[in-house]
Structure 1
Amino acid sequence: MDLHYSPFDFAIQKDPYPVYKRMREEAPVYRNEEDDFYALSRHADVVAALKDSERYSSKNGLRLEPAFWGPQAEQIFSFVALDPPRHTRLRALVQSAFTNKRVQALEPRIREIGKAHLEPLLSGDTFDLMHFAGGFPTDVISELVGVPEADRAKVRDLGMAIMYREPDGGPVKDLPPSAMAAVGALVGYYTELTIDRAKVRQDDLLSGLLDAAEGEDRLTPEEVVSILILLVGAGIETTMLLLGNAWHAAAAHPDQKALALGGRIEDWVEETLRYDPPSQTIARTTVADVEVHGTVIPAESRILLMTGAANHDPAVFENPDAFVLGRDTAGSLAFGYGRHHCLGAILGRLEARIALEALTAHIADYEIDEANAVRIGSSNNRGFASLPTSFTAR
């Protein structure tokens, strides 16, 4: 059978790892003419590209859909869609506000949010894990940013509309009008919130972003809003999908599930990030001709860096297709690498740990109704829209 890979082929997305294996072995520089991209799937090649912003540019964004790809990508992906020196400047300003101290100080409130979302779902002996996994990180980001409680349901609905999924349809190569309208509405909301916060500061990330400065250099209001939009995908969707993937992976491996439910939470999080990461690809644009494994990739080519495939590279991970808690996951590329390593990695790990601790505090064992589980449809993310679960309470 001919090797075929497309990020828009949801049949592949249901289980991409066998395809990734063939790509690594047969076509480490893969070319898709129809969708006009190249793909690198070996760990060493992906790392080399992520380190090399001079030849692999972020200028057109991280995803191939027309709504996301191009010079407008900065409006959605903020500094993540920039190269040095603009990336260096914006990342430094954001980092001065989005500090580890601010994240760690939020832990007690994150636990309260988790409890409020989870406990109502556990009144019987069945629930949908994704009902918890979706609402929880949305409210955590709202708490971090400083969204008033009265507005959080609206922000949650808009965020879910942007995180578009149509798993039972054919290839969808762009966002639908409803998702684009949600992006516009969220931009409008955050613009108004930024204006209000500029008048009266609070103890939240939005105020921190408005106050972030290096000498006379400050973030513009437009830059602040783009950072807040970035948090919808980077701070909400990935955590939602991580929780679902962790729940599903453990259920499929009963011996590892026993360890997870027995308290191996951090190992559970880290192995899920390696084994089935929420984000599977990162797009780049080649600035000059690049030769990899004897293949010349022309300048201005679209290229997918297959982090999901790299996380299963046997050159880095022994028995990579096995789900093994406690393995060495230091080579995982789930949060990227180098200058674009995810600023929110600490928050994402903290949220996942708190959520799984809350779940295991109430649940002694569980099974997933695989027949009714529903996967999302996404070009670069992998996970579930629904995970019906039956459980035994502690």
Structure 2
Amino acid sequence: MDPIIAATHADPYPYYAELRAQGGFTFHHGLKLWVASSARAVCAVLAHANCRVRPTQEPVPKAIASGMAGNVFGQLMRMNDGERQRCPRSAIAPALERVYAAQVRALVAARLITVNTDGLYKALFRGPVCVVAALLGFTPAQGRAISELTGDFVACLSPLSNDLQLTAAHSAAEQLRGYFIELLTEADSALLTAIKQRFEGDEETLIANLIGLCSQTHEATAGLIGNALVALRRQPEWRGASMDTLLAEVQRFDPSVQNTRRFVVEACEIDGVRVEAGDVILVLLASANRDPALNEQPDAFLLERTNRRSFSFGSGRHQCPGELLAMEIASATVREILDHGVNLDRLAWHYRPSLNGRIPMFSFVCD
């Protein structure tokens, strides 16, 4: 086990506890990076001005730098610091906070969920992006196309992707850009109007970050829904509980985004340890969530948890602006899956290959 493999391990949490016991901020010689595993260290890294989301010498991964996927990547607020992050965030975050929960539930309920492996896959990976597309003003047919293209585009975000996947990601980015160019001239949805009114950058940056909104929804929300289904499979008595309450604990207890990275641009001190310019820090969000210093009884799944705290959606200047929307979509989707009579007792799963995501891929076992 190492801190990266842990993300898709059947149960990484005892290993995370071992890392915290070693001090919470240590150097992993095999991976040649620092590992922040305690809540204190994670908070310090995410808040430090010298810890950036991309290395200075490689703002866009070399594998995609020469294509459209790289153009989009380079403008994403989540992949930038400073003004290139603040400008799109100041427009998108307030608009997302004003989306009505009832509207989200209605859009989720309007989607057909079939009780088989393919239906469950689409509910996790296609449905959430279709909801976001509808909120932005796309038609249902366009939303389906957007969700499939987003699935191709997100391949460019993973170092595990092969050349064919990267080629498809560039093509998807081109097509998504075309869809959003048309949307910006024709649609007048409440969400898109609110974003446009606040946005002060150029159109290409806005388009890139609207694509980014879809791409962040794609895998992170799929993992949130999937990990909720795993929890309900293991604890059937929770199936009648409030889905909002259940999801609030799922995102802390077993988050879909297990880790993120930061790159040190100037020598500084983190949690009492000196780090140098060029150092890489692996930030174990999921480990910090299980730190007893952050939450009492951290390894217990408690629906009614007092003062629940979590790093699953980040913290500080890079905290995910779509947290409330993701939670609403996930909550509504899990309820719809249950209402459609999906037999959770027949679910089997493995975790999708990933360096940071914990996303179950489901199948049904025969009786």
The structure-2 alpha-carbon separation of the partners of 1:322 and 1:295, relative to structure 1 and needing over 3 Å to count, comes to same
Match of 2:169 among 178, 183, 190: 183
Q: What SS is found at the alignment partner of 2:317?
A: helix
**Conservation of the 8 A alpha-carbon contact between 1:280 and 1:382:** yes
Quick one: distance in 1 between partners of 2:119 and 2:21? Answer: 38
**Conservation of the 8 A alpha-carbon contact between 1:78 and 1:226:** yes
Which residue of 2 is the match for residue 388 of structure 1? 364
Q: Normalised by the size of structure 2, how large is the TM-score?
A: 0.85
Quick one: distance in 1 between partners of 2:74 and 2:358? Answer: 20
Which residue of 2 is the match for residue 141 of structure 1? 132
Q: Deviations over 1:8-32 (max 9, x none)?
A: x379633221221111112522323
Q: Deviations over 1:186-231 (max 9, x none)?
A: 3212322233234334225445444434xxxx23122122212312
CA shift for structure 1 position 92: 0.9
**Conservation of the 8 A alpha-carbon contact between 1:277 and 1:382:** yes
Which residue of 2 is the match for residue 101 of structure 1? 98
Which residue of 1 is the match for residue 351 of structure 2? 375
Q: Deviations over 1:37-79 (max 9, x none)?
A: 2110001111122222x12122449x9976589xx69726711
- Please give the root-mean-square deviation of Cα atoms over the aligned residues, in Å: 3.3
List gaps (5 residues or longer) in structure 2: none
**Conservation of the 8 A alpha-carbon contact between 2:233 and 2:345:** yes
Q: Deviations over 1:161-203 (max 9, x none)?
A: 34559xxxxxx94322233223212321232223323433422
Quick one: distance in 1 between partners of 2:178 and 2:163? Answer: 23
**Conservation of the 8 A alpha-carbon contact between 2:55 and 2:265:** no
Q: What SS is found at the alignment partner of 2:252?
A: helix
Instruction: Give the alignment of 1:82-161 within 5 angstroms.
Output: 82-96=80-94, 98-104=95-101, 106-107=103-104, 109-113=106-110, 116-118=111-113, 120-121=114-115, 129-161=120-152
Quick one: distance in 1 between partners of 2:267 and 2:147? Answer: 43
Match of 1:23 among 19, 22, 28: 19
The structure-2 alpha-carbon separation of the partners of 1:389 and 1:106, relative to structure 1 and needing over 3 Å to count, comes to farther
Match of 1:313 among 266, 269, 291: 291
**Conservation of the 8 A alpha-carbon contact between 1:77 and 1:229:** no
Q: What SS is found at the alignment partner of 2:21?
A: helix
Which residue of 2 is the match for residue 174 of structure 1? 160
Quick one: distance in 1 between partners of 2:120 and 2:365? Answer: 7
The structure-2 alpha-carbon separation of the partners of 1:182 and 1:152, relative to structure 1 and needing over 3 Å to count, comes to farther
The structure-2 alpha-carbon separation of the partners of 1:160 and 1:142, relative to structure 1 and needing over 3 Å to count, comes to same
Which residue of 2 is the match for residue 169 of structure 1? none
**Conservation of the 8 A alpha-carbon contact between 1:186 and 1:229:** no
Q: What SS is found at the alignment partner of 1:305?
A: strand
List gaps (5 residues or longer) in structure 1: 166-171
CA shift for structure 1 position 237: 1.3
State whether structure 2 residue 333 is matched by structure 1 residue 342: no
Q: What SS is found at the alignment partner of 2:282?
A: strand
